[in-house]
Structure 1
Amino acid sequence: MRNYTEGNFTLEELNNDMRKKLLAPLVYLLVLTSIGIPGNIFVIFIFKQYKKDVFRTIILNLALVDIVFCVIGIPFNIVRILYYYTFKITWICQVFVGVLDFGIMYSTHLLMLLSIHRFRQICTPLKSQITQKNVKYFVLCCSFIGLTLSAPQIAVLQPLEKIQLTNNITGLICAVTWKDSPTYWRAYNFFLTGLFLSYASILFAIYTLIGKKIIFAHRARQKTSAAITATETLSNKMTKIAFTVSVVFAISYLPLFINELVSKGVIQSELTPLQFATLKITERSYLINHVANPFIYAAFDHRFRHKLKTLCRCTKNTSQNNQNVDFNNIYIVNL
């Protein structure tokens, strides 16, 4: 790193040195982008071919949110790293932070809807269920709740934060905190942490009850020597997917909230390069939630795996055919 106790330097030089410190988070984001964009495109394309039902509708909406994060959210975070001290366009910072906050809230409630749907189907099958006819209203409700809960972030249009660097150089940062309203920010962050813990507890309770119901049904089947039906197999598969998606959600968001609690009072300028890079990766741990779902579907849904292999095979063959055509064209020209 540059020795700032000697010589003159510019804001751009300080920004370049910050990029070097943030190389690990930058690589992390590039890897997520390269995996997340094609993965979620495959999810949308494949699930579009499935029979229309509640599970498919919710999964497709989750995939749409995930692809927005991969196409907009992750590149936005990359730009924040590349222009760490020189982020000059205020409205881009404000709009993108608001959109991402809405996406987090919306996808969280879609996940809750998916889990509640599985709970009602397995634990209360004789009661009224979410159907293909009314699921769109529940999805709209999720989007409305997401917009309402993200409204504080959207309403408080945080200006670019000015940070005083060495030699009286002032940098501009696209921050996600409200420096001008610290009490307001702490209250909002405390609310989000409480909401996350509440939802995590609800999900734990839901899948505990579902697990007990499945175990009870399995034991009853063993006593009667009844075979597992195709409907039960499909139901178990959807439950495994919903459960794993919920676990990944909790694991990916938990470091973010822990970081908010333990990083209070931490002076980032005093951290070592490794500590600083780790902090910045932790702040973006939630992005894993929007990249991992295609792998979950591939792990538990053989139809998804089969269609994915077919698509990859077709893509590879098409690419090879195009290369052969190009080669033949070149050969003819040379003749």
Structure 2
Amino acid sequence: MANTTEEYTLDELNSEIRRKLFAPLIYLLLLAVIGIPGNLFVFIIFRTYKRNVYRTLILNIAIIDFSFCLIGIPFNIFRILYYYTFKVTLVCQILAGMLDFGIMYSTHLLMLMAVHRYRQIFMPLKSQINTENVRYFIAASLIIGIALATPQIAVLQPLEKVQFQNNITGSICAVTWKDSPYYWKVYNFFLSGLFVTYAIVLFFIYGRIGRKIIVRRIWRSKQRSSSSKGKPNDVSNRMTKIALAVSAVFILSYLPLYINEELTKLVNASELSPVQFAVFKIFERSYILNHVANPFVYACFDIRFRGKLLVILKSCCHNGNRKDNEDSKLSLDNVYTIRTSSTKNTNL
């Protein structure tokens, strides 16, 4: 932000920026309201599924997404509420590092899911990822996530200093910033390269898988295979669609973040209108959508998940209505008791 031309205190500047960031604040609150229960439902429902590799990976992704919504979204809200007055560097480093860990860990789980599906289709006779050895691949993804997030926690995430007139200095725990140190640029360049590489690999894998599924479907229609024989393929295709959709959400939600990093170098935020600045900050946090949208993906492509989710929601609504009825009945009983007691006292 550029230097202000009027005399303000830091608290007044902070209040002013909060007003400008009201829309991103509502955006984050909405994501929290959707993401926290949504990912909790995913964990509860998939726990009831038959144990397999997909179930194991989805449960791990759900845990990361739930933790991200529970920690990452409040952290971003805190960044907004104390935009110029974020004082503790260690808190900024640790929480930003935890977000990076969640991003890296879930990314490698998605890659693992794609590789598993690819090997099933194109290398069916070779050794496969199974329920016994998948834990080792998950552990490797965990270690890679920790290793890639460690630089952020250890040294890389400083507080960005913003100088105003009258020797007023604000401190920001920034998502992206223009005048970042050299080592931060190298780190971001590495992560950006990793993102592009994984996006290309996922595009290639699911492109080949999609083509294979289409060829199989044409062949099956010509052979007029029975529906009983088609059921296993239907289940397999459904899991492929889910894996593809989750990966697509990952790419589309993180792409604006990397675009914003480049725009930050070219655009001066102080020159933006309040609406443009708010949109800029929403796009800066588009990556959070990746950790909120997955329950919608499962509900869209998995009819069994959708059915179980409706049962849970109906049960919650039923229990809520029953509690309201019991409370109303209790209130009426209390009124009746009070009136009866009053009548008795009057008669006395």
1:42-121 maps to which residues of 2 (within 5 A)? 42-121=41-120
Other structure's SS at 2:48 match: coil
Query: How many Å apart are 1:123 and its aligned residue?
Result: 2.0
Cα separation, 2, equivalents of 1:213 and 1:66: 31
Q: Please, which moves more after superposition, 297-306 or 266-275?
A: 266-275
With over 3 angstroms needed to count, the CA separation of the structure-2 counterparts of 1:103 and 1:73, relative to structure 1, is same
Other structure's SS at 2:162 match: strand
Moved over 6 A (4+): 178-181
Which residue is 2:190 aligned to?
Answer: 191
Q: Please state if 1:18 is matched with 2:27.
A: no
Deviation readout 1:79-122 (Å, 9 max, x if unpaired):
10011011123322121011001111001000000111111112
Cα separation, 2, equivalents of 1:43 and 1:154: 30
TM-score with structure 2 setting the length: 0.91
Contact 1:40/1:67, CA 8 A, preserved across alignment: yes
Which residue is 2:288 aligned to?
Answer: 287
Cα separation, 2, equivalents of 1:94 and 1:78: 16
Cα separation, 2, equivalents of 1:271 and 1:313: 46
Deviation readout 1:209-228 (Å, 9 max, x if unpaired):
11121122112212321134
Which residue is 2:331 aligned to?
Answer: 330
Contact 2:176/2:261, CA 8 A, preserved across alignment: no
Contact 2:178/2:265, CA 8 A, preserved across alignment: no
Cα separation, 2, equivalents of 1:260 and 1:180: 11
Deviation readout 1:150-172 (Å, 9 max, x if unpaired):
22212215343322123321112
With over 3 angstroms needed to count, the CA separation of the structure-2 counterparts of 1:151 and 1:179, relative to structure 1, is farther
Q: Please state if 1:261 is matched with 2:231.
A: no
Which residue is 1:214 aligned to?
Answer: 213
With over 3 angstroms needed to count, the CA separation of the structure-2 counterparts of 1:174 and 1:191, relative to structure 1, is same
Q: Please, which moves more after superposition, 122-131 or 232-241?
A: 122-131
Cα separation, 1, equivalents of 2:137 and 2:288: 25
1:130-145 maps to which residues of 2 (within 5 A)? 130-145=129-144
Letter in 2 for 1:282: F
Letter in 2 for 1:185: W
Unmatched 5+ residue regions in structure 2? Answer: 337-348
1:268-307 maps to which residues of 2 (within 5 A)? 268-307=269-308
With over 3 angstroms needed to count, the CA separation of the structure-2 counterparts of 1:81 and 1:181, relative to structure 1, is closer
Unmatched 5+ residue regions in structure 1? Answer: none
With over 3 angstroms needed to count, the CA separation of the structure-2 counterparts of 1:303 and 1:249, relative to structure 1, is same
Query: How many Å apart are 1:139 and its aligned residue?
Result: 0.5
TM-score with structure 1 setting the length: 0.95
Cα separation, 2, equivalents of 1:218 and 1:305: 25
Cα separation, 2, equivalents of 1:177 and 1:259: 8
* RMSD, aligned α-carbons: 1.6
Which residue is 1:166 aligned to?
Answer: 165
Cα separation, 2, equivalents of 1:205 and 1:5: 53
Q: Please, which moves more after superposition, 234-243 or 205-214?
A: 205-214
Which residue is 2:344 aligned to?
Answer: none
Contact 1:221/1:227, CA 8 A, preserved across alignment: no
Cα separation, 1, equivalents of 2:81 and 2:236: 46
Percentage of matched positions with identical amino acids? 58
Other structure's SS at 2:115 match: helix
Contact 1:44/1:60, CA 8 A, preserved across alignment: yes
Deviation readout 1:38-61 (Å, 9 max, x if unpaired):
100000000001011100000000
Count of matched residue positions in the alignment of Structure 1 and Structure 2: 331
Contact 2:5/2:165, CA 8 A, preserved across alignment: no
Deviation readout 1:280-300 (Å, 9 max, x if unpaired):
111101100000000000001
Which residue is 1:122 aligned to?
Answer: 121
Cα separation, 2, equivalents of 1:23 and 1:180: 26
Other structure's SS at 1:163 match: strand
With over 3 angstroms needed to count, the CA separation of the structure-2 counterparts of 1:257 and 1:225, relative to structure 1, is same
Query: How many Å apart are 1:179 and its aligned residue?
Result: 8.5
Letter in 2 for 1:264: K
Query: How many Å apart are 1:9 and its aligned residue?
Result: 3.1
Contact 2:43/2:59, CA 8 A, preserved across alignment: yes
Greater CA radius of gyration, 1 or 2? 2
Deviation readout 1:60-81 (Å, 9 max, x if unpaired):
0000110111100011000100
Deviation readout 1:179-234 (Å, 9 max, x if unpaired):
89611111111111111111111011101111121122112212321134221111
